[in-house]
Amino acid sequence: MIGLRERYVINDIGTLGGTPSLGLAINAGGTVTGVSYLSSGPHGGVHAFRYDGGGIVDVGVLPPDNFSWGYGINDNDMIVGGSFVDEGGPVPHAFRADAALALMDLGTLGGDFSFAYDINNVMLITGEASNQANDTHAFIWSPGNMRDIGTLAGGNRSVGRSINERGQVAGESTFGRRDATLAIRFTEADGMVSLGTLAGGFSSSGYGINNTGQVVGESDTGPILQPFARVRAFPLFGTHAFLWTETDGMRDLGHLGGGTSRATAISDTGQVVGTSSLIDGTAHAFSWTSSGGMLDLNTLLPLNSGWVLVEAHGINNKGQIAGYGLHNGVGHAFRFGPSEIVVQP
């Protein structure tokens, strides 16, 4: 009998001189951004990087400090993140780097802090920034304008973590007097709307949104007993990855046996990636689809690859994934995905 098997390939992104490095986002062409230590010393600094398969490139920093992080990348290879500047002391400002790696400070909402997490193909950027009242609010930045998109009613903090091509934002916000954070979706038509929690939960966070408006993230589910904790009769508080859609609301995506999981990104095809604990408490990167459920990405690795995939942070519509893993015991950013379909006897 002849079957079909998808072949997967993993690329070691490497580092900028030190360890570890982390892959945090990937665009349609497979270009990855993230962050890497520059050296193994205590004062070597960390810089955002870009990787397109031809080697890792240092994105640089805003002056005068030596720290930057790349969190989002669009299909034009523009990168956004945060970089320390001097505001009477080191504090991060959101930046945008163009394809030539020229960095622009995006400013703040009137305070001293900002950080950018994602950028779409029409240069809308989302993140968080402090205002004159020293509250931190989610923003949408368009050329020349950083716009405060507010909080849930009564909240004093919100974050925009992902933005799609329609300008819809996923993130989180505090609300009212409850000491809780809720996942949100922002649209121009409806403003900021709470996505709620999974059954039994108190708090949730949104991390990714695709172009159909589906949101992924994590929600607590109330006290649970981990399999390894039952012997000790010790209750733990667990969070589960979720998928939220307009038709079905928030769906629990489960976990890899350890009781906790977090979904970080979703493609337009509905493939979700993230990280989950195993029964022994270690963490593995996962992929989830509606047809196949949650799958440990380590089961797709080539034999004797030397890799343990720990976290998946970004996915494109080709199924290529950016994340963090251990390669022969050393923490490196990776790019992982299908390369071809092969015939298997």
Burial class from Cβ neighbours inside 10 Å (0-12, 13-18, 19+) for residue 5 reads exposed
Residue 141 resides in a domain:
no
Q: In terms of Cα–Cα distance, which of 271, 146, 144 is closest to 214?
A: 271
Q: Based on the fold, state whether residues 189 and 210 are members of the same structural domain.
A: yes
- Output helix, strand, coil percentages for the chain, rounded to the nearest 5: 5, 55, 40
Q: How many domains does the structure of the chain reveal?
A: 2
Q: Based on the fold, state whether residues 260 and 177 are members of the same structural domain.
A: yes
pLDDT grade, residue 2 (50/70/90)?
Answer: very low
State the Cα–Cα distance between residues 91 and 127, nearest whole angstrom. 15
Residue 139 resides in a domain:
no
Residue 209 resides in a domain:
yes
Contact 30, 335 (CB under 8 A): yes
Q: Based on the fold, state whether residues 105 and 238 are members of the same structural domain.
A: no
Q: Based on the fold, state whether residues 172 and 273 are members of the same structural domain.
A: yes
Burial class from Cβ neighbours inside 10 Å (0-12, 13-18, 19+) for residue 53 reads exposed
DSSP assignment, residue 302? P
How far from chain centre, in Å, is Cα 298?
A: 19
Residue 343 resides in a domain:
no
Residue 330 resides in a domain:
yes
- What are 79-94's pLDDT values in tens digits? 999 999 987 778 999 9
Q: What is the three-class DSSP state of 336?
A: strand
Q: Based on the fold, state whether residues 283 and 234 are members of the same structural domain.
A: yes
Residue 213 resides in a domain:
yes
Q: Based on the fold, state whether residues 245 and 307 are members of the same structural domain.
A: no
- What are 141-181's pLDDT values in tens digits? 999 899 999 999 989 999 999 999 999 999 999 998 667 89
Q: Based on the fold, state whether residues 7 and 110 are members of the same structural domain.
A: yes
Q: Which pTM value belongs to this model? A: 0.93
The label of the residue with tokens 């009781």 reads 259
State the Cα–Cα distance between residues 218 and 220, nearest whole angstrom. 7
Residue 54 resides in a domain:
yes
Segments forming the whole domain that contains residue 278: 149-294
